[in-house]
Structure 1
Amino acid sequence: MAAALLGAPAATAEVQYPRQQWMRESTAGLFLHWGMFTAPRHVDCEAWEHDVTAGGWSADYWVDEARKLGASYIVLATFHSRLGYARPWPSKIPGSCSTERDFLGELVNAGKAKGIKVELYMTDDPQWHNEVPGVQTLDSDAYSAYKGEKVDLTTRQGFGRFSYDQFFEVMENYPDLAGFWIDNDNEYWESHHLYEQIRAKRPSWLLTNNNEDTPIMDTVSNEQKTGMTPAYDYPSAAFTPMPRISEGDYKLPTSGDWWYDGKDHPVDFRLSTGRYITNAGSSMKSLMAETAMVNGRFPPSQQEYNDFMADWTAPIRSSLQGTEGGGYMYGGMQPGFWNDGAHGVVTVRPGARTQYVHVVTRPGTDLVRLRDNGYRATKVTDVRTGKVMAFSQSGGYLTILGIADWDPYDTVFKVDTDGRQQSYYPQNTLRATASSAVTGHPAADVVDGSHENYWDSDGKLPASVTIDLGSRRKATSLAVNQREWSPTHARSTFGRPEDSARIKDYAVSTSDDGRHWRTVRTGALPSARGVQFIDIGERTARYLKLDVRNTWAGPQAPDFLGRLRIDEIKVAHGAPVSGSAQVPLEAESRSNDRDGGVRTSECGACSGSSRLVGFGGGARNSVTFRDVTATEAGNYRLQFDHTAGSATSLSVRVNGAAAIDVAVPAGNPDVPGSTAVSVSLVAGANTVEVFSRAARGPGLDRLAVGPLPPTSYVPKTTMTVDPHGLQWVGAGQQSVKVTAKLRLDADDVLDGVQLAPKVPAGWSVEGGPATASSMRLGETLEASWTLTSPPGADVASTTVPVTAAFLTLGTPHEVTQSIGVRPRQADRVFMREAEDSRNMLGTAGPTGCSPCSGGEKVRNIGGSAAADVRFPDVTVDRAGTYTLFIDYTVNGDRSFLVSVNDGAPVEAAVSGIGNSTPTTTTVPVTLAAGANTIRIYNDEESAPDLDRLSLGQP
């Protein structure tokens, strides 16, 4: 069978398969990095085995700790490049540490007895074979004697052969193993069709690959994602759509290595529980890494966390096990950012009638308000206390009221519903066409009822999709599920640039004949996971057209730039109304005093399905709220939900003080928007009067009062400064052209925005600051300047900060990106950082490297033609042969190929230990006078990481 499979074609993805069922039903796994180099490090295999046994190692301990975490499986990472390639099982294959005691077999049996699966970690990487000076962890001679021919285990090909044999020995000896967790790929495995053979020999086993979506694998694992907002929102950095199984594998200790390094590192309960819950709310599995000591026990901080989890998850287990993430392909309400600073996720039972609202970050008020996605709620219960909660539902929102029992990590509400069919048109009654599409992914896929099919706009933007309702019918909103194949924000992970391929600016139009269109809504969607909503008011038309003007992705991530994919678009014709409780501070409430022409008006998209209109002309047309309460005196965030067809304003007077004017932007006259200001309230009841000095004021839906965000809170923005990276310049006076762009990524408002460089003393700047009176979601501010160093002297080393300053609810903030300018070495005629924005990085990308020049380098070079770095405009005064200095980091033996002006390449073979130690090598290059292009690449194999290039004198 194996021989036959060697010629088999590559397998296609088996996204759903019966063998995966146990994993789909899982919430979490326990990831154990444990081996010969666990502290205290052993360099002798027998001594390590002796100390493990003498220390009282027990398989049952690991299994019991996994159960405390709610884990259904254990991944054992001992055959790991940084842990001595230890094999804690007897093996007939020599080449690395192998024990006489069968620790793996004991763990598999203990897990089987208690319902815990065990997967075995396998590495592709031989580069750390001599990490410990004087110690060689891979024995090429012993393996060569076993094979009867010379095999060098320190090479990728040789190690691939050695590890290939391990797979088959393990498959033969441990039939109750659940599968392999594979850390990337090895060329030998692929060329010998390893995975196809595993499928044939052990068809019930799972295959997991780390950091990439390999079609034959069952599971995609996402390693240690950071930089999200909130920090615990692990899924926002993931890149694989459901129903593909995804893991989030992360360390529970907040510092240190993946393995025990001799220290009891703390566990951040807030971060770890937040990851656990948000992963469950996105149908991702939490693969939690703990650092077992030599005897298998966990350090005290991790033991404490495990004990806590056993008690903490018990009352909410029903909301986590047997559920899927809500707001995606399984239905459910909308996850993400909710009211007054709240953030959370939704989990759903099959069919989505029973849903669980997980409030991970509590709001500043005693209510939670989230989009209901058309589900009509019938009952809301606090899962931990059993208390039946008051709630109200209208305008597309469910509001849970009077919350007093907040859990510090996750307050969970069970929401019983009677479904949502009454709010959306059946998908099979709709038809869709588009301006462009990739073959096999037509616009019809957005209304086919399946999230596994999707429309792809073929990289063309702007793009549009038109939905035919079949006849003139009422429509009130669109529910859009975009393809969850990109992170929610710009980032670089493992040297691969990523960005959000989600809709930013859009317009929705209606038509009766498909030719004459009326725009009914424009705006920007947030870059967020899960279903997103576009309210259009109550419209009657046959056709709806969604024009996508751009997406969030920037040019630094070419794989995502301009790419648009949408799974499903649902059309609502109303919003559920249920619950008997009243939402506080509704404008139309009878407890408010109205003056002049202010009156109630129907508004289907508004809270309570009504609003107040008739504002304008000053305080004679006003509404006064007399029950605006505050627990203590101080400054608060006062939010107005308003409707306005054109730009106008509101004014607010608190307790008779001077009125504050509030700008209201233009929008859809029947769809609420929000604006907030900071106001001073007294403890207890306050009187808030709202009017408009404009000739025609907006409609007023409701007020909301909450705490101001902490002064440390800065709305999420993206600022790009070009050029990026240290700028190396020649002698004399120098000028640098700088361009900066600020984008607001959050649903906040920035006031008084100013963008400008702060030049050092003696420098001059050409160009003034860019300013904006305000910025809202997705809006940008951009400017360029020319910076010139002091005359009559060589440029000195300096750093130029480019700063965006703004106000948020009256609090000043700044965000800064800096440009470093450095004089070149006297013997160099050219010098440029690899991460410089003038370079073209292909699929390679920058990553942090503190000892490197400029604190960054470019990694992920090599392995394909696209994974290269091109240095354009390498300018020299005269043609000739120059010495090219290549600054790099590498662990093991690798090669760069260097091509000038697409000519024949020159190889630069290098070796080293440690990927954070910059080293320099040289190659001769022949350059033409003027501008040249130097390409650094290796189409066949992985290349070293690149720090910088420079040219010596000819």
Structure 2
Amino acid sequence: MRLRAALVLALIAALLTAPPALAEVVHPRQQWLRDATAGLFLHWGMFTAPRHLDCAAWERDVTGGGWSAGYWVDEARKLGASYIVLATFHSRLGYARPWPSAIPGSCATERDLLGELVAAGKEKGVRVLLYMTDDPQWHAEQGVETLDSVAYSAYKGQRVDLTTRAGFGMFSYDLFFEVMERYPDLAGFWIDNDNEYWEQHRLYEQIRERRPSWLLSNNNEDTPIMDTVSNEQKTGMTPPYDYPQAAWTPMPRLTEADYKLPTTGDWWYDGGDHPVDVRLSTGRFITNAGSSMKSLMAETPMVNGRFPPQQEAFNAFMSTWVPPISESLRATEGGGYMYGGLQPGFWNDGAHGVITVRRDDPDIQYVHVVTRPSTDHVRLRDNGYRVRRVSDLRTGRPLRFAQSGGHLTILGITAWDDYDTVFKVETAGRTGFLDGVTSTAPELVDGSFETFWDAGGRLPASVTLDLGRRERIAYLAVNQREWSPVYARESFGRPEDSARIKNYRVHVSDDGRHWGRPVRAAALPSARGVQIIDLGERHARYVKLEVLDTWAGPQAPRFHRQLRIDEIAVARAYPLSRGSLPLEAEHQRRSGGARVERCAACSGSAQVTGLSGGTLTYRDVTAPAAGEYRLRIDHTAAAPAPLSISVNGAAPTEVRVPGDNPDVPAATSLPVTLKAGANTIALTGAAGVDRIAIAPMPAAPGPPRTTMTVDPSGLQWVGPGRQTLNVSATLRLDDDEALDQVSLAPAAPAGWTVEGGPATAATLRLGQTLTGSWTITSPGEVSAADVPISASFRLLGRPGTVTRQLRVRPRPADRVFMREAEDSRNRIGDAGITSCAACSGGQKVRNLGGGPDAYVLFEDVTVPAAGSYTLFVDFTVNGERSYVVTVNDGTPVEVKVSGTGNNTPYTTTIPVTLRAGANTVKLHNDAAAAPDLDRISLG
């Protein structure tokens, strides 16, 4: 497999010298940024606290305060940043230009601050990119006009309104060319979204012609001509530092993670010395490097350019914390993806981390343990790499390790770094994989991550792999396309979800026609990086992977049922070392019919079976203190089977463990009470046992990773009198840790009634769902009520709940119909739902219009009689935009509206003619962006 790694590097080298057709994905001008780990993002301008409303006064205070370009460059280097993005021409910082501009229109300094920064950076090897915005909407946010349309109109010899997108586009277009002419040592532009004027006048193409070595980066969208896709302030993942979980652009696309270092306050200095969460910030820094993403860290310089004390302190910390592990971050790529490497993500006993791989020698990898396990070892999938040596990178201390069953276990770890314990793993390359495999989807076995198989929206979907002859088969290594987040979320008002495999089946065959029963039928986690499907020890020529469904739900149409896979590799065997793990079953006491059997996918390549007529006894399970512990049992079974566990001779605990293959271990965890010192654990039952592991119970486990949906969702407006609602809910488990005694049901408010009992499940495992339906009735005249719909369960013996609220409100007396735009009964196409504190229900639909697929379709708009009605549309907008309203597929009507700020709801009215009963109302605009939509009602 060393040859395969060399071929991957050769592919990347070829892409780096590729012709212009591939230039925007991989191009030589990008190489300096690909070699970088991080950048420093600086938001700074007229409205930096204390805000200045006069450009000259701001410049005087900048200079008088001792502003120094060298200080910024030195602070960037402390962070390990190779570049600075300067955001002064920012819509909410006064559109300040820190250079002497010949083009009137907004604040420009007499002192050439930009030129000084570019020169200072060049001297110390730190490049500078200039931020440019497309957005004029905040031109009067501070109560003064910051854009001078009169002066710019005189300069252009024509009337130009800079507060419009077209006028601002013309103004900023001129600035691009002024900067290109004046600052040849600039590294490029960091562009905050697009302006129609730029696109119409071929701005980007002209930048390419005039400054071919400059980079172009765009915020939050993947524009083909741009070099870099920047992902802004992603949150909501578990663990919270694992920023790449929310990324949606696959390698080798150059990507940034753009986030604030101060955990509170604005993107710019607002007068406060806000704290920097060291744990969160270092975790982001490391996990981004482990995904080949660049950390663009935003700090908030004061008017004089200096950073608040807590940010300076963080920079100083980074200047000493990073150097001892710098070899694991510089000239490396993220491991587990297209560059090879061990599997990143969630490991044993609460551990989590990423892998980095040396570019010059992919046989050297680094395991970054960002969240340490609760035990003294780390166990992760080896992805076929034969490990020769493991050492602690910070100390150089060699460490014991064991390798079998597809796992590498690093043992006896006593020294943990507070933020990132790094192990240097030296390998003998990737072994055991079959060459010459062909497929019904050739893209899966062509050795290129630039081509991929697309199922075309069809599920179930299957692919067949032809090994060329009958071979031994141990497992599949599947690299799915990294083009979606790993969990459901909203990003800038657009719904996102994981497009990765959930439930699958694997069949094998000797002739490609007769497949028999599946050898695996299970669920894959929604996770980034290579995923392993163990098959046991099989012999066949053909392997068929059948994908039954994916994780993405219908609320995210871009990802729903959209399966894409980059590569699948077939392995005949696992790497094996001489080291063994503690508590492996084959080394314990056996009685009755218990016996040791070979099991290639098991730890130590063996398991103990025959426990239906025998007993496996662990006689020396050591606990440091008496108390409750988490017992994990790795077991095998051809189907779900009973297993009995007795601790220290106590009455046994019966569990039903999952299984779909007697040669592939699965895991079940349960709480057990141990005494200090040696304990005895005895196991009997119909399953085989690979090994057990003991760990402290999680100190305070939060809610498990679940997705819960309620239909109808959102705020429900109902008419007068007694009302009945039909409600359904679904709970999906997204976590590897099983839930027990699961119950799902609404709780009726006082006076309300619920028809239908709770939906229940004895156990819920990864990817499984529980669904219930109920009829909820109000007591006589309806009044405002919140109906909680809750899932209760036990996790490792501890109770837990997950709750969603169904909010019910009586509609106003002058309305015959009212519904929120975000209601689940509507169809919203490619539009998205976002929070809006001032809106009814606290949400609205945004990203409406601009094409035929972004709309809100209200179905079942019910009225008591045919006739004329007034349609009330509640919306938010900044500037002037239009809806197109179509009722019952009739003639579309344009409705023009205007407003200030995008967080203030307005109302407009339209006369409509409706039929008795159900109608449809569609708000859309195929030609241009429409306002955001809060709700509609009829009067």
Give the TM-score of the pair, scaled to structure 1: 0.95
Q: Tell me the residue number matched to 1:787.
A: 776
After superposition, where does 1:437-516 map in structure 2 within 5 Å?
Answer: 443-516=441-514
Residue 600 of structure 1 pairs with residue 562 of structure 2: no
Q: Tell me the residue number matched to 1:176.
A: 185
**Mapped contact 2:534–2:601 kept (Cα < 8 A):** yes
Match of 1:186 among 170, 190, 195: 195
Residue 797 of structure 1 pairs with residue 799 of structure 2: no
**Mapped contact 1:13–1:217 kept (Cα < 8 A):** no
Q: Tell me the residue number matched to 2:131.
A: 121
Residue 755 of structure 1 pairs with residue 713 of structure 2: no
- Greater displacement, 47-56 / 874-883: 874-883
For 1:549, the aligned partner's letter is L
**Mapped contact 1:889–1:944 kept (Cα < 8 A):** yes
**Mapped contact 2:659–2:666 kept (Cα < 8 A):** no
Q: Tell me the residue number matched to 2:244.
A: 235
For 1:919, the aligned partner's letter is Y
CA distance in 1 between partners of 2:894 and 2:53 (Å)? 36
1:684 CA displacement: 2.1
**Matched residues, number:** 918
1:143 counterpart SS class: helix
CA deviations 1:612-646 (Å, max 9, x no partner) are: 122113xxx21222221222221000000011112
1:127 CA displacement: 0.6
Q: Tell me the residue number matched to 2:547.
A: 548
Residue 41 of structure 1 pairs with residue 51 of structure 2: yes
Q: Tell me the residue number matched to 1:900.
A: 887
- Greater displacement, 330-339 / 888-897: 888-897
Residue 195 of structure 1 pairs with residue 204 of structure 2: yes
CA distance in 1 between partners of 2:572 and 2:133 (Å)? 53
For 2:439, the aligned partner's letter is A
CA deviations 1:637-681 (Å, max 9, x no partner) are: 000001111222222222222221221223210000101110011
1:833 CA displacement: 0.5
**Mapped contact 1:12–1:216 kept (Cα < 8 A):** no
**Mapped contact 1:157–1:188 kept (Cα < 8 A):** yes
Match of 1:401 among 396, 399, 411: 411
CA distance in 1 between partners of 2:301 and 2:589 (Å)? 66
Q: Tell me the residue number matched to 1:856.
A: 843
CA deviations 1:200-246 (Å, max 9, x no partner) are: 11100011111110000001010101110111110010000000001
1:459 counterpart SS class: coil
CA distance in 1 between partners of 2:696 and 2:416 (Å)? 17
After superposition, where does 1:574-653 map in structure 2 within 5 Å?
Answer: 574-578=573-577, 580-589=578-587, 592-617=588-613, 621-653=614-646
Q: Tell me the residue number matched to 1:7.
A: none
Q: Tell me the residue number matched to 1:69.
A: 79
For 2:487, the aligned partner's letter is H
CA distance in 2 between partners of 1:768 and 1:324 (Å)? 53
After superposition, where does 1:555-954 map in structure 2 within 5 Å?
Answer: 555-578=554-577, 580-589=578-587, 592-617=588-613, 621-692=614-685, 697-790=686-779, 793-952=780-939
CA deviations 1:565-610 (Å, max 9, x no partner) are: 00000000000012x4331111112xx3222222211111011111
**Mapped contact 1:832–1:949 kept (Cα < 8 A):** yes
1:870 CA displacement: 1.3
After superposition, where does 1:508-527 map in structure 2 within 5 Å?
Answer: 508-518=506-516, 519-527=518-526
CA distance in 1 between partners of 2:130 and 2:923 (Å)? 37
1:20 counterpart SS class: helix
CA distance in 2 between partners of 1:106 and 1:782 (Å)? 63
CA distance in 2 between partners of 1:87 and 1:11 (Å)? 35
CA distance in 2 between partners of 1:12 and 1:940 (Å)? 31
For 2:303, the aligned partner's letter is V
For 2:489, the aligned partner's letter is R
CA distance in 2 between partners of 1:174 and 1:11 (Å)? 28
Q: Tell me the residue number matched to 2:14.
A: none
Q: Tell me the residue number matched to 1:342.
A: 351
CA deviations 1:484-505 (Å, max 9, x no partner) are: 0001011111111111110000
2:208 counterpart SS class: helix
- Greater displacement, 809-818 / 345-354: 345-354
- The share of aligned pairs that are identical, in percent, is 69
CA distance in 1 between partners of 2:122 and 2:95 (Å)? 26
For 1:885, the aligned partner's letter is F
For 2:420, the aligned partner's letter is D
**Mapped contact 1:11–1:216 kept (Cα < 8 A):** no
CA deviations 1:541-576 (Å, max 9, x no partner) are: 000000000000111011111111000000000000
Structure 2: runs of 5+ lacking an equivalent: 1-19
CA distance in 1 between partners of 2:375 and 2:302 (Å)? 44
1:849 CA displacement: 1.4
For 2:226, the aligned partner's letter is M
2:294 counterpart SS class: strand
1:12 CA displacement: 7.1
**Mapped contact 1:12–1:215 kept (Cα < 8 A):** no
After superposition, where does 1:348-363 map in structure 2 within 5 Å?
Answer: 348-350=357-359, 351-363=361-373
Q: Tell me the residue number matched to 1:23.
A: 33
CA distance in 2 between partners of 1:712 and 1:299 (Å)? 35
2:585 counterpart SS class: coil
For 2:417, the aligned partner's letter is D
CA distance in 2 between partners of 1:274 and 1:214 (Å)? 28
**Mapped contact 2:519–2:660 kept (Cα < 8 A):** no
After superposition, where does 1:267-416 map in structure 2 within 5 Å?
Answer: 267-350=276-359, 351-416=361-426
Residue 96 of structure 1 pairs with residue 89 of structure 2: no
CA deviations 1:278-316 (Å, max 9, x no partner) are: 100000011111111111111111111111111111110
**Mapped contact 1:802–1:816 kept (Cα < 8 A):** yes
For 2:594, the aligned partner's letter is V
CA distance in 1 between partners of 2:580 and 2:136 (Å)? 65
2:827 counterpart SS class: coil
CA distance in 2 between partners of 1:634 and 1:310 (Å)? 42
**Mapped contact 1:316–1:383 kept (Cα < 8 A):** yes
CA distance in 2 between partners of 1:768 and 1:831 (Å)? 30
CA deviations 1:133-180 (Å, max 9, x no partner) are: 2x0011111000000000111111111111100110000001111111
Residue 432 of structure 1 pairs with residue 439 of structure 2: yes
For 1:293, the aligned partner's letter is M
- Greater displacement, 798-807 / 874-883: 874-883
CA deviations 1:417-437 (Å, max 9, x no partner) are: 0101x31112xx01101xxxx
**Mapped contact 1:906–1:923 kept (Cα < 8 A):** no
For 1:149, the aligned partner's letter is Q
1:940 CA displacement: 2.6
CA distance in 1 between partners of 2:899 and 2:854 (Å)? 21
For 1:120, the aligned partner's letter is L
1:160 counterpart SS class: helix
**Mapped contact 1:711–1:811 kept (Cα < 8 A):** no
1:13 CA displacement: 6.2
2:226 counterpart SS class: coil
1:901 CA displacement: 2.4
1:11 CA displacement: 8.2
**Mapped contact 2:717–2:810 kept (Cα < 8 A):** yes
CA distance in 2 between partners of 1:778 and 1:13 (Å)? 40
